[in-house]
Amino acid sequence: MGDKSSLGPLLLGAAITGATGLCLYLLLKNEEKLCENQNLTCQMTVLDVRISKENVGIVLGRHGANIREIQSKTNTRIYVKDHLETDQYKVLSISGYPDGIKLADILIQQTILSQPRMESQIVHIPQSAAISVLGRHDEHIKSIEEKSRCRLYVEKNCEDCPGQIKITLQGPRDQIVKAQGIIQTGLETNQNIFNQTDRPARLKYQQPLFLKYDPEEDDNLISSGTISQEQLRSTGSDQLIQVYVSCISTPAMFWVQNVGPSSIDLDKLTQEMTSYYSKQENQVFHKLERVDVGDIVVSSFAGDNSYYRAKVVEIHVNEYDYLQSTVDLDFVDFGDAEVKSISEVFELRTNYLKLRFQAIPCRLANIRPIGSDSSWSE
């Protein structure tokens, strides 16, 4: 008998009559000769390729674009065999001529290898550095993700790491390294603030300049449970006001203090509060079991041995141990912000509420961030 490759076309030609059958016969014969000249095997075959589930999306591409391109280049047909799927793998079936199947398999493997491998890295930062790294209202998280192209998942109430914030970084290795560098920069900035031994002493003014201050005494600043806020005001004809910039967040958000008698009053208040709350028995007496947003409390500032008035702006409750909860504080006389454990926050005596809140929020006039983005860059 003749070989099987020539038998197929003969049988097909015999079974089909007329001009159509003759054309089909000649087409198959020409294809057979072409395959013989190129030393190729023309028999259609099928190859099943096992792909891990995490790589299936990479191989298929967006809306199947990658797999359609591979099929076009290799003259094959590729589809997923759902019935062979396991918990870890999917099976791609490639049908076509052997050489096309081999090329398709190579292109699939190259597509997988060309993609950066996704990794996960956990970073812990102290609660006290939350604002420096993540922002007052976590606004820095988006910035870190945009700069590093790495995804951040933040867990502020970490059960395994009390007093710390757990940050999970997900992405390729180079993106994770970049995100770690940005976080480290934030930690170093936070540490520098605490370690600055030459930081200008707060509230040390010789005398007011360019300001005629009216030292009006007001013993009734606390009315209806509301404490008055210090304001910018000038009584001189030149309309100049001498201020001290106590805290800067952005050009559109910073805080100043009036230079004048109120500065001396605040200096005196801080000394009295520090002397009182530094004593262990007074801390125990004014210990708070629970706080609410908006409460005015007293707490020390990190890296500083002094105690200051602060407002509770947010509470992060630890459901397992309330005393391990943390609070976001705004220091009402300076504008600084910090995350503190609730055990570090104390009840404020009413006689420390007479002085107006000294931090005056300000912004530079007629400015905005460059471009369409409404946020300020670092």
pLDDT surpasses 50 at 97: yes
Q: What is the pLDDT of residues 35-92, one digit of tens each?
A: 544 555 567 888 988 888 878 888 888 778 888 899 999 999 998 888 888 888 889 9
Tell me what pLDDT residue 175 has: 87
Which has the higher per-residue pLDDT, 99 or 305? 99
pLDDT surpasses 90 at 369: no
Q: How far apart are CA 90 and CA 55, in angstroms?
A: 9
Q: Any long-range contacts for 280-284 (C-beta under 8 Å, 24+ apart)?
A: 283/346
Which has the higher per-residue pLDDT, 265 or 35? 265
pLDDT surpasses 70 at 16: no
pLDDT surpasses 50 at 156: yes
pTM over 0.75: no
Q: How far apart are CA 132 and CA 249, in angstroms?
A: 10
Q: What is the pLDDT of residues 164-187, one digit of tens each?
A: 888 999 888 888 888 888 888 878
Sequence-ordered strand ranges (E) for 97-204 = 118-126, 151-155, 164-172
pLDDT surpasses 90 at 307: yes
Got the DSSP string for 250-300? ETTEEEEEE-SHHHHHHHHHHHHHHHHHTSHHHHHHTB-S---TT-EEEEE
* Alpha-carbon distances of 353 from 271, 281, 341, 345, 360, rounded to whole Å: 14, 21, 23, 16, 17
- 54: three-class secondary structure by DSSP: helix
* Alpha-carbon distances of 279 from 271, 282, 300, 323, rounded to whole Å: 13, 5, 13, 21
pLDDT surpasses 80 at 157: no
Q: What is the pLDDT of residues 199-258, one digit of tens each?
A: 333 333 333 333 333 334 333 333 334 567 888 877 667 778 888 888 888 888 889 988
- pLDDT band of residue 370 (cuts 50, 70, 90) is confident
171: left (phi over 0), alpha (psi -120 to 50) or beta: left
Q: What is the dihedral of CA 263, 264, 268, 269, to 10 degrees?
A: -30
Q: What percent of the chain has pLDDT over 70?
A: 76
The pLDDT of 282-309, averaged and rounded, is 87
Mean residue pLDDT of the chain comes to 76
Contact 356, 309 (CB under 8 A): no
Q: How far apart are CA 216 and CA 195, in angstroms?
A: 38
Which has the higher per-residue pLDDT, 262 or 191? 262
Q: What is the dihedral of CA 329, 332, 334, 340, to 10 degrees?
A: -20
